[in-house]
Amino acid sequence: MSHPIGNLREFQSLVKIIETLRGPQGCPWDKQQTHSSLTRFAIEEAHELAEAIDHAQSQAIKEELGDLLLQVVLHAEIARQENTFTIEDVIETLSEKMLRRHPHVFGNASAGSAEDVKKNWESIKQKEKDDKEFSFGLPSHLPALIASFKIGEKTKKYNFDWSEITPVLEKVEEELSELREAIQNQDRENMQEELGDILFSVAQVARHLDIDPEQALRKTNKKFETRFQKMVDWARMQNLDFKSLSPEKLEELWVIAKAKN
């Protein structure tokens, strides 16, 4: 699409738009943004993209990818104005990393399967970090469930992991028993700790099953929301006050909603 600023299908046109928004005659909101103030938006956009992917909505995926790209370009423009780095530096750094971590494509290494690629990738990453003090290196804003999953991935590389799923499930049962004990003792602090242990262990179950726990939980949240909405709708059609229904009646509605979904 033709526009005074240039071809809107070209990346540099987007860069010009952001430069203009941050320029002297630009948008007051855009001009006052910083890396810190934009952090939550990057997180939100990533989650919205994940939701669009979950629902296999191509149009929404396209739009959310654009919103995520906006965050990248906006952060790069802020950095350019601060004389720290530019969007070209971002692209160069990423390109160098992709070349370095794909020697089976751009070098002499070989990889016959996706699993081989993953092993090579992790080995190269580890060499890059060997000179650094040990750290899980997880972003502080990463959702806790995903962080638990990734911690398990990292400790596995040090052979600190279960070899099969059975003891992981037993660990969940053990932590659940300890939570019951904490509840019985009305130990609030211990309840929180044991609940955290359960969630961490469940994340490890997901890892051993090769299931993304965040995606699984998102789908369950959506499923529950859909079923609950059906309960409310059914009660409304029957002219019932939903909030005044007995536990038995609510359970009956729940069973009906589950049967229809």
Would you give per-residue pLDDT tens digits along the chain (261 residues)? 457 788 899 999 999 999 999 999 999 999 999 999 998 899 889 989 988 998 889 999 999 999 999 999 999 999 999 999 999 999 999 999 999 888 888 888 777 787 777 777 777 766 766 555 667 878 877 889 999 999 999 899 888 999 999 999 999 999 999 999 999 999 999 999 999 999 999 999 999 999 999 889 988 999 999 999 999 998 999 898 999 999 999 999 999 888 876
What's the confidence (pLDDT) of residue 186? 94
Whether 227 and 198 map to the same domain: the answer is no
Give the integer Cα–Cα distance in Å for 223 and 17.
40
Pull the structure tokens for residue 132: 């650094």
Whether 116 and 78 map to the same domain: the answer is no
Looking at the domain assignment, is residue 49 inside a domain? yes
Looking at the domain assignment, is residue 126 inside a domain? yes
What's the confidence (pLDDT) of residue 208? 96
Whether 141 and 184 map to the same domain: the answer is yes
Q: How far is CA 118 from CA 12, 33, 101, 124, in A?
A: 33, 37, 10, 10
Whether 205 and 219 map to the same domain: the answer is no
Of 131, 125, 85, whose CA–CA distance to 103 is shortest? 125
Whether 193 and 237 map to the same domain: the answer is no
Overall number of domains in the chain? 4
What's the confidence (pLDDT) of residue 74? 97
Looking at the domain assignment, is residue 2 inside a domain? no
Whether 72 and 110 map to the same domain: the answer is no
Which parts of 195-240 are beta strand (E)? none
Looking at the domain assignment, is residue 4 inside a domain? no
* DSSP H or E run through 179: helix 166-184
What's the confidence (pLDDT) of residue 217? 92
Find the domain containing 83 and state its range.
11-94
